[in-house]
Chains A and B, each alone.
Chain A
Amino acid sequence: MIRWLLWLLGGMLLGGIVHLATVLLLPRTATQDAYTRLSATAPANSVVPLPAPTPDDAVLPFMDPAFATAVCRYDLGPGPLKLRVPVSQAYTSVSFYTRAGVAYYAINDRAAGRRTIELDLMTTAQRAEVPEDEEITAADRLIVESPTPTGLILVRTFGPEPGLMPMAQRALAAARCGTQS
């Protein structure tokens, strides 16, 4: 009897390790994460508007239907990325996600403080290559460092009521992202 209890205890301890290992490994093996879902429709390094969510069909779960959403699936392999988002009348935000869907940076129109949100996205290595003096002369250039070489940028504009959604979508259509030439 005692022997079986010990085996049971050992099994539960091992189970704790299995639990921690699966939680930590799951993000690497997930096949339905946001990046994978968007890879099907969004080519790399360009802004693609996402269809408005409906009860039957949504690209991602828990999307806010009061927003027009566009995505830029980025790959910093060829070089740093330039993002340019004109601000809409209502509210505009830009959120950055790693390959695994971790939100590492987000900025809205008020925090940006101007009519156009302009950002340079680069990896830590690419940032180190930017000449020191250039960084100083371009003090108003906002540089964001991406923890992963690939990831997602979500550009969202607010439609305060259904009638204003076309306006939000139009504002979104002017957003651009691409590698510097």
Chain B
Amino acid sequence: MRLLIGFLFSFAVAAAFGLGLTQFALTRGTAFGAITIGAWTAWPKTGTADIDPYARAAIARSGELPIGSGDGVAFFASSDDTGRPLDGRCTVIIAGTTPAARFWTMTLYDLDGRLVANAADRYGFTSQEIARRADGNFEIVLAPRARPGNWLPTGGIDRYVMVLRLYDTPVGVATRTAKDAAMPAVTSGVCT
């Protein structure tokens, strides 16, 4: 009887621990082959046949088709440079330059990968749309209400993810540090 209870206890622990770990790994994202530059993280290997089993399970679960490495690379940011989660009720400023690429796009999504709804029907910018300063640097303002300059509406949602996609770029599996790829700074400002 004690043996049976012991086995049942063990199996319960195994199921809870194993499934919990899987759930955690697939929803939080794993760090295999990740490049982190400032607030931005990319998984270039996810766009190749060398994809790791965790990323493979994550895409099967979400239905996402990762960007192929011959096409480009996607950098994700869900918090600012200090680690504070991005909040749609706050002003967030993206400033600086991007790594060498033929062009890039920047898009806001909710945590499930849907576009962020807003009255302006504007979901992102391409590198050819934004206004730049004389030195080539740019500044994008993410805020719930309209701002002058390069404004992206956040729709006032709690949490969101920014995705900066570089197309036709040398940035990829061989990239290691910010020296190879200078990413723009992400700064949270006042909240409404």
Contacts and interface: CB of A to CB of B under 8 A. Distances in A.
Interface of A: 3-4, 7-8, 10-19, 21-24, 26-27, 30, 32-34, 36-37, 53-56, 58, 60-62, 64-67, 91, 93, 95-97, 100-108, 110-111, 147, 152, 154, 156, 158, 160-161
Nearest to B116: A55
A7 B9 contact: yes
Contacts of A30: 60-61
A62 B103 contact: no
A102 B56 contact: yes
Interface of B: 6-7, 9-19, 21-22, 25-26, 46-49, 51, 53-54, 56-57, 59-72, 74, 102-103, 105, 107, 109, 112-117, 123-124, 126, 128-129, 163, 165, 167-168
Contacts of A60: 63-65
B126 A12 contact: no
B65 A26 contact: no
B17 A12 contact: yes
Contacts of B51: 102-103
A54 B103 CA distance: 23
B44 to A, nearest CB: 11
Contact of A11 (B11, B57, B63, B69): B11
A27 B56 contact: yes
Contacts of A105: 68, 70
Most A-side CB within 10 Å, residue of B14, B46, B53: B14
A23 to B, nearest CB: 5
B49 A102 contact: yes
A15 B18 contact: yes
Given A32-B63, A100-B60, A152-B65, A64 B13 contact: no
B165 A27 contact: no
B53 A61 contact: no
B46 to A, nearest CB: 8
Contact of B65 (A32, A53, A66, A103): A103
B115 A54 contact: yes
Nearest to B66: A103
Q: Which 6 A-B pairs have the closest CB atoms?
A: A18-B18, A106-B68, A61-B113, A11-B13, A15-B17, A106-B70
B60 A103 contact: no
A103 B68 contact: yes
Given A11-B17, A103-B47, A61 B62 contact: yes
Contact of A95 (B6, B71, B124): B71
A153 to B, nearest CB: 11
Contacts of B66: 101, 103
B68 A95 contact: yes
B60 A91 contact: no
Contacts of B14: 11-15, 17-18
A62 B117 CA distance: 14
A19 B18 contact: yes
B63 A15 contact: no
Nearest to B56: A27
Contacts of B13: 7-8, 11-12, 14-15
Most A-side CB within 10 Å, residue of B14, B53, B65: B65
A32 B10 CA distance: 32
A31 to B, nearest CB: 10
Contacts of A54: 115
12 contacts: A11-B14, A15-B16, A16-B17, A19-B19, A26-B22, A33-B60, A66-B126, A97-B65, A102-B56, A103-B46, A103-B69, A160-B126
